[in-house]
């Protein structure tokens, strides 16, 4: 019997017993979603599959400790992003959320007005529709910015869920999204100038 | 005094740039303040359109990546995970 409520105590209990039907329902529902999430971050199918296998491994190892306080999707995405972080820790860049970002700050004068005015959207659209250019700019973002951007703009997760998954405050999430979008925008403007 | 109040009420361009990126979570008053600023500021209107174009391009990019995935591989992976973890 298919279920829509994967976070119900009854369903969680069945998962803890590793009942084939419950495991099957959960994995069939969330494996494609998690795979999309892993691919969006890693781009490599082989790496995405490995991270996915590790994620489910960790999920079933931790299911006995899952108390149902958050949605099971949040729990799964939290594990997925931890696995991705572990995998990329060696080249992950530290993001300082407390201090201003100098690249973005240079766009504004001291009075808060634009120092470098945004380009005419008609010129910008050429670069923004070039998916290869967008992809190159996206790769330059820090890991957590990419994850926040993906969860909000593509998966449509609520801010509350994203904060739980990435373990950031709502204010920090706002800063992550702001910096991600502006760094992409500045990068694409530079590409548009070169078109 | 009115001028000072107006200066505080109407966002600066820098404030607008931040709020536009987090538009989904804004209240009515903040949206109104954004609207007021965008009425009088051409560069911010350009900025808002750029951010909208960016959001739309990101969705196109992700969906183009997803369309290229081999569905059969994913189905096999799903089966392997179910068989490994289910009793």
Tens digits of residue pLDDT in A143-189: 888 888 888 877 778 888 899 888 888 888 999 999 999 999 999 99
Considering only CB atoms, B77 lies closest to which of A31, A36, A128, namely A31
Gap from A168 CA to chain B (nearest CA, Å): 15
- Tens digits of per-residue pLDDT, B21-54? 988 778 899 999 999 999 999 999 999 999 999 9
B49 Cα to chain A: minimum distance (Å):
6
Chain B CB contacts of A121 under 8 Å are 46, 49-50, 53
Tell me what pLDDT residue B66 has.
65
Contacts of A157 (CB under 8 A, 6+ apart): A77, A151, A165
Q: Is the pLDDT of residue A95 over 80?
A: no
- Closest partner residue to A28 (CB to CB) among B60, B61, B78 is B78
All residues of chain A having their beta carbon less than 8 Å from the beta carbon of residue B64 are 131
Distance from CA of A142 to the nearest CA of B (A): 16
Dihedral angle of Cα A108, A110, A111, A117, to the nearest 10 degrees: -20
| pLDDT (tens digit per residue) in A8-39 | 888 999 989 989 999 999 999 999 989 888 88
A39 CB neighbours in chain B (<8 A) are 65-66, 69
Average pLDDT, chain A: 84
**pTM here?**
0.70
Q: Residues A53, A56, A61, A62: is their CA dihedral positive or negative?
A: positive
pLDDT digits (tens, 9 = 90+) for A72-88: 989 999 999 988 888 87
Of all residues in chain B, the one with the smallest CA distance to A187 is B54
Distances in Å between the Cα of A46 and the Cα atoms of A10, A77, B8, B73 are 35, 19, 53, 10
pLDDT at B71: 60
Complex confidence, ipTM = 0.77
User: Which residues have CB under 8 Å from A125's CB, separation 6+?
Assistant: B53
What's the confidence (pLDDT) of residue A90?
47
Structure tokens at B5: 């109040």
- Cβ atoms A181, B51 nearer than 8 A: yes
Closest Cβ–Cβ partner in B46, B58, B69 for A121: B46
Q: Assess B43–A contact: CB distance below 8 Å, yes or no.
A: yes
- Residue of A16, A76, A75, A20 whose CA lies nearest to A51: A76
Q: What confidence category does residue A193 fall into, taking pLDDT thresholds of 50, 70 and 90?
A: confident
Q: Regarding predicted confidence, which is higher, A38 or B73?
A: A38
- Residue A2's pLDDT is what? 52
**pLDDT tens digit string along B6-22?**
667 788 999 999 999 98
A130-144 burial, b if ≥16 CB within 10 A, otherwise e? Answer: bbebbeebbeebbbb
Nearest chain B residue to A49 by CA distance is B77
Q: Which of B14, B61, B87 sits opposite A112 (nearest CB)?
A: B14
Give the minimum alpha-carbon distance from A91 to chain B in angstroms, rounded to a whole number. 23
The pLDDT of residue A98: 57
Query: For residues A168, A169, A170 and A175, what is the CA-based torsion angle, rounded to 10 degrees?
Result: -70
Distance (Å, rounded) from C-alpha A113 to C-alpha A34?
41
8 Å CB contact of B25 and A174 = yes
Q: Which residues of A172-188 are buried (b: 16+ CB within 10 A; e: fewer)?
A: bbbbbbbbbbbbbbbbb
SS3 A108: strand
Residues of B in contact with A110 (CB under 8 A): none
Asked if B40 is an interface residue toward chain A (Cβ–Cβ < 8 A), one would say no
């Amino acid at each position: 019997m298919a279920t829509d409520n994967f976070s119900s105590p009854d369903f969680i209990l069945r998962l803890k017993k590793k009942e084939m039907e419950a495991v099957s329902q959960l994995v069939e529902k969330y494996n494609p979603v998690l795979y999309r999430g892993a691919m969006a971050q890693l781009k490599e199918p082989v790496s995405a599959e490995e991270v996915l296998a590790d994620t489910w491994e960790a999920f079933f190892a931790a299911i006995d400790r899952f108390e149902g306080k958050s949605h099971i999707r949040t729990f799964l995405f939290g594990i997925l992003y931890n696995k991705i972080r572990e995998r990329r820790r060696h080249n992950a860049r530290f993001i300082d959320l407390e201090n201003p970002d100098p690249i973005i700050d240079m766009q504004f004068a001291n009075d808060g007005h634009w120092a470098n005015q945004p380009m005419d959207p008609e010129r910008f659209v050429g670069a923004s529709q070039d998916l290869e250019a967008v992809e190159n700019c996206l790769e330059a973002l820090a890991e957590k910015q990419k994850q926040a951007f993906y969860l909000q703009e593509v998966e449509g997760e609520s801010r509350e869920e994203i904060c739980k998954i990435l373990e950031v405050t709502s204010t920090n999430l706002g800063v992550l999204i702001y910096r991600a979008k502006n760094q992409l925008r500045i990068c694409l403007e530079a590409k548009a100038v070169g078109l | 005094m009115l001028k000072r109040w107006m200066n505080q009420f109407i966002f600066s361009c820098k404030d607008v740039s931040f709020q536009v990126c987090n538009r989904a979570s804004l209240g009515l008053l903040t949206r109104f303040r954004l609207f007021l600023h965008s009425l009088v500021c051409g560069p911010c209107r350009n900025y808002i359109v750029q951010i909208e174009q960016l959001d739309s391009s990101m969705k196109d990019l992700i969906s183009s990546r997803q369309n290229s995935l081999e569905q059969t591989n994913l189905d096999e992976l799903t089966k392997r995970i179910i068989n490994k973890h289910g009793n």
